[in-house]
């Protein structure tokens, strides 16, 4: 039973971490988890992988650094800096044959890549951040927390009855339960003659004769 309880709480902890870890990381470090939806950075980052993008620093604006650039329409893309000239960086995707047509400045950087998560963990994290998945996982966690384990224990009175030893009765105990009158009515061979029955009248006459003889 203890093993089942440990397994249950382990699953609950893992699911809670899956639900709140991305938001916690973003809140504490400012790092965003971004899903790769193209192949321009393959094989470094494959389609469906997750890259951790942190705030850009001036040290990130240098050759061989992978940075994320924001376009005027709100879209973003992540490529590697090939060279820098006059404060402008030339970018190129690792999976592309040619360089990007436009150069970028430091002010256009949204961030720089700080880490990378590949499949299959990336697939799980990406799915867990969708709204239907978050609702389903929250309901499942609640069900695990409220799930009872093991059979219900009986009342304290029932437990006392179970631990109370039973008393065995022997035939001699049944005999001792008889009344005083029944005890007087039991005769042994030493008290009476088994071969000749007697009544109370005979006993009275014999007793009187014995008394007379003594006098």
127 is in which domain, residue-wise?
Answer: 1-30+122-151
Nearest to 47 by CA among 33, 31, 35: 35
Q: Range with the lowest mean pLDDT among 46-55, 107-116, 144-153?
A: 144-153
For the cut 80, the answer to whether the pLDDT of residue 175 exceeds it is no
pTM over 0.85: no
**What are the φ and ψ backbone dihedral angles of 33, each rounded to 5 degrees?**
-100, 115
Residue 24 maps to a domain: yes
Strand 66-70, strand 76-85: pairing:
antiparallel
pLDDT tens digits, one per residue of 149-169: 765 555 555 555 555 555 545
Rounded distance, CA 24 to CA 162, Å? Answer: 52
Residue 159 maps to a domain: no
Q: Looking at residue 85, which CATH number applies to its domain? A: 2.10.109.10
Residue 172 maps to a domain: no
Residue 192 maps to a domain: no
Cα dihedral sign for 31, 33, 39, 45? positive
pLDDT tens digits, one per residue of 77-124: 999 999 999 999 999 999 999 999 999 999 999 999 999 999 998 998
pLDDT at 184: 39
């Amino acid at each position: 039973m203890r093993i089942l309880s440990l397994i249950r709480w382990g699953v609950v902890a893992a699911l809670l971490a899956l639900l709140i870890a991305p938001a916690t990381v973003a809140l504490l470090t400012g790092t965003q988890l971004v899903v790769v939806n193209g192949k321009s950075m393959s094989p470094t980052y494959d389609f469906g992988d997750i890259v951790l993008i942190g705030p850009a620093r001036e040290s990130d604006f240098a050759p061989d650094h992978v940075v994320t650039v924001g376009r005027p329409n709100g879209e973003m893309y992540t490529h590697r800096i090939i060279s820098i000239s006059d404060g402008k960086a030339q970018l190129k995707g690792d999976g592309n044959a040619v360089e990007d047509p436009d150069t970028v400045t430091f002010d256009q950087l949204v961030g720089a890549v700080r880490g990378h998560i590949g499949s299959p963990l990336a697939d799980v994290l990406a799915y867990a951040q969708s709204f239907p998945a978050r609702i389903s996982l929250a309901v499942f966690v609640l069900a695990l927390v409220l799930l009872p384990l093991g059979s219900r224990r009986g009342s304290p009175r029932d437990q006392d009855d179970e631990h109370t030893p039973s008393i065995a009765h022997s035939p001699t105990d049944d005999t001792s339960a008889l009344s005083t009158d029944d005890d007087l009515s039991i005769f042994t061979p030493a008290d009476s003659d088994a071969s000749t029955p007697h009544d109370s009248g005979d006993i009275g006459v014999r007793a009187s004769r014995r008394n007379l003889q003594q006098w």
